[in-house]
Amino acid sequence: MPSNTTLSRMLDAGANLTLDGALATELEAHGCSLDDPLWSAKVLLEQPQLVKRVHRDYFRAGAAVATTASYQATPLGFARRGIGEEEALERVALSVRLADEARREHLAENPGAGPLLIAGSVGPYGAYLADGSEYRGDYVLSRSEFLEFHRPRIAALVEAGADLLACETLPSLQEAEALVALMEEFDVEGWLSFTLRDGRHISDGTPLEQVAKLSGAQPLVVAIGVNCVPLELVAPGLSALGKATDTPLIAYPNSGESYDAITKTWGPAAAVAELGCKQAASLAEGTAVWRELGARLVGGCCRTTPEDIAAVASLTGNP
């Protein structure tokens, strides 16, 4: 069941929130093989209770938001495995129930830990392609095609009781516009977070100042920002967004390593300095800087752990 509060109310009350971290990293640490186009959604088919376990670990670490294992859980993606749409959408709904079970169990043991929210993960079309295009934004679909692709999963997430949508790792302005339309269609709050080409542009080349207008056009967009980006791009990205919108900002970058979408491997971070912004060496080190730039929600993406989130949570103060 949904929480009795909303993200917008928490933000209006002045809360600074800690998000969770990488799901795939922790599933792999528990022995799951994610070398599959379904990525973490594969575990919804094979070992769903491990997903709940990871959500519990992040709640224990201090996360106030659990992001569901639905990033690549789409009817088209499951169809590749011979799974029909009805079962595929049941797995999407399962991702919400697992996060909610983890929340209930954590609150039963820690009654003062709430409120805790469940964000239904909505990955981009590029995630379904499983070719790294969510970091390039080089696919082209019509508005109606984007709506048709995203609508069934969003309907399943909302019906299952997600408190909000995490429209994340978005490389495309046109796709983000379609997702905003679906937030309105389903009357559900959500955030928009983007991958970056550099500190001024999302992956398809759209300036961040233009992207920021999406948050002003629709009140249901309660936060906007960046995720699945290198640490060194967070501050310039937030700086550009903060100059163009008063909407609360969100940041959940990768661990500090660099990802090669072709070889699907991680390596040392590239040394990049943009816009004169101070560069962070870790999530914890960057948190204070990102908060000053307007990030009200901070967490981690690929290769981050509950330990990283605990470090962020220790620095997050609420009124």
By residue count, the chain amounts to 319
Q: What is the dihedral of CA 105, 159, 17, 9, to 10 degrees?
A: -120
Task: Identify the DSSP state of 185.
Answer: H
**Torsion angle, alpha carbons of 254, 73, 221, 286, to 10:** -10
H-run or E-run covering 192? strand 190-194
**Which domains, ranges and CATH numbers included, belong to the chain?**
7-313 (3.20.20.330)
Smallest Cα–Cα separation from 26: which of 312, 306, 266?
A: 306
Between 85-109 and 143-160, two packed helices, what is the crossing angle to 10 degrees? Answer: 40
How high is the pLDDT of residue 100?
A: 98
Mean pLDDT of each 10-residue bin along the chain, 319 residues long: 80 96 82 62 79 96 97 89 91 96 97 94 94 93 98 98 98 98 98 98 98 93 97 97 97 78 56 51 93 97 95 77
pLDDT score at 274: 47
Interstrand relation of 265-267 and 258-260 (parallel, antiparallel or unpaired): antiparallel
Please give the pLDDT value at position 111: 92
> Locate tokens 């920002």: which residue?
225
What is the model's pLDDT at position 319? 39
Does the bond joining 37 to the residue before it have cis omega, within 30 degrees of 0? Answer: no
- Please state whether the predicted TM-score (pTM) of the whole model is above 0.85: yes
